[in-house]
Structure 1
Amino acid sequence: MTTPSSPTRLIVLRGNSASGKSSVATGLRERYGRGLALVRQDTLRREVLRERDVPGGANIGLIDLTVRHALAHGFHTVLEGILCTAHYGEMLAGLLADHPGRTHCYYLDVSFEETLARHATKPIADEVSEHQLREWYRPLDVLPGGVETVVPATSPLEGTIGRVLRESGLCEGVRAEAGLTGRTLWS
């Protein structure tokens, strides 16, 4: 994938529907700029392959290959999606084990009630029913081994973005590019 001295960062953002994964990923990209690949589960599964989320689905291998390709070409990479442990756990474990650079995983934890409230504000609210959301919802579906930082629903978006930038070390790239080496971009 990458050399042992790889400076690339792999960031995995997981959580239930409407937990804020896409918003955090978009914020990271906006703050960091070029050099950050954004791999979205929904884009590869729903748009590229038009596949349902099933065990052993073709999207799992495509996600794996896409992340590995971006990292091998020197891109910091953010992988975001529901990525339920039952279907994606093995693939994610392989990515984490094989990436020689810094890796940070976050699970955005929201209650089902909060999922419903947030979902109601989305453009697809009329297409996805409460029943479907309930079927998809997995409470605290964290990866084994304590590899994920659980981010509560009370964490504000800007605070979560700033936290991920700091903890992953990506903030140095943001600060250098912005010419703000002595100041902080977030609170």
Structure 2
Amino acid sequence: MTAVGSVDTRLVVLRGDSGSGKTTTATALRPLLRAKTAVIHQDHFRRTLLAGGEKNSRSADAAALIDTVARQSLDLGYDVILDGVFNLRDYAGRLEQLWRDHRGVTRIYQFDVGFEETVRRHETRELRNAFTPEEMRAWHDGWQPLEFVEEGRIGPEETLPEILARIVADLREGSSSAVADSRRPKDRFADS
């Protein structure tokens, strides 16, 4: 692929099971980044833009569209926050290529809060009537790490302010290091 963004753009990927806190985190993180920040929600592509399509092709189609929008946003100078389940089947290859192609700082986090906690959190959301806990169980993947990078693992004990502080600190740390150093087979960012 082609290099995207600049040394000044930042890419944050928030992935994990439905109801784990990704969208809440993305929404709260946006004002802590630059004014020029794009938030790209997987749900928007799958539920709104591609609604009504066949489920398997809809997931693959959403992956392609999300990748394109993220790349274009980075090229336009936006920081980007990607928020979604981002299963390994449809997204691992695309996330790896985007991670390798991005010139700036990239941080990837996976929410690993357990099934019971995702259901508890789901009951507080506006989408609580959109799908049932039984449907959520069918989708629940649990911890499924990407192979090309050590993701930041976000557990159920972490509060939103703690998560936000951690991400902002990780982005600051990454900004002061050599970009080439962050493209090793395993990113130097590790679980803390």
TM-score (norm 1): 0.84
Q: Which residue of 2 aligns with 1:175?
A: none
Mapped pair 1:144 → 2:147: yes
Q: Which residue of 2 aligns with 1:169?
A: 172
Mapped pair 1:111 → 2:114: yes
1:142 Cα deviation after fit: 1.6
After superposition, what is the alpha-carbon deviation per residue over 1:125-153, rounded to whole angstroms, capped at 9, x for unaligned?
Answer: 22211211001100102211343111111
Q: Distance in 2 between matches of 1:21 and 1:52?
A: 25
CA-atom RMSD, angstroms? 2.2
Q: Which residue of 2 aligns with 1:39?
A: 40
2:56 to 51, 54, 57: 54
CA distance 1:3–1:107, change in 2 (3 Å):
closer
Name the SS for the 1:169 alignment partner. Answer: helix
1:67 to 60, 66, 70: 70
Identical pairs, percent:
31
1:49 Cα deviation after fit: 1.6
Q: Distance in 2 between matches of 1:139 and 1:29?
A: 26
Q: Which residue of 1 aligns with 2:181?
A: none
CA distance 1:52–1:124, change in 2 (3 Å):
farther
Q: Distance in 1 between matches of 2:106 and 2:125?
A: 30
Tell me whether 46-55 or 79-88 shows the greater mean CA deviation: 46-55
Q: Report the residue type matching 2:56 in the other structure.
A: V
Tell me whether 58-67 or 26-35 shows the greater mean CA deviation: 26-35
Q: Distance in 2 between matches of 1:98 and 1:31?
A: 24
CA distance 1:116–1:12, change in 2 (3 Å):
same
Q: Which residue of 2 aligns with 1:178?
A: none
2:126 to 116, 119, 123: 123
After superposition, what is the alpha-carbon deviation per residue over 1:13-33, rounded to whole angstroms, capped at 9, x for unaligned?
Answer: 001011110111111112235
Q: Distance in 2 between matches of 1:15 and 1:3?
A: 25
Q: Distance in 1 between matches of 2:18 and 2:158?
A: 16
Q: Which residue of 1 aligns with 2:16?
A: 15
Q: Report the residue type matching 1:20 in the other structure.
A: G
Q: Distance in 2 between matches of 1:130 and 1:90?
A: 29
Q: Distance in 2 between matches of 1:3 and 1:68?
A: 6
Maintained 8 Å contact 1:2/1:71: no
Q: Which residue of 2 aligns with 1:89?
A: 92
Q: Which residue of 2 aligns with 1:25?
A: 26
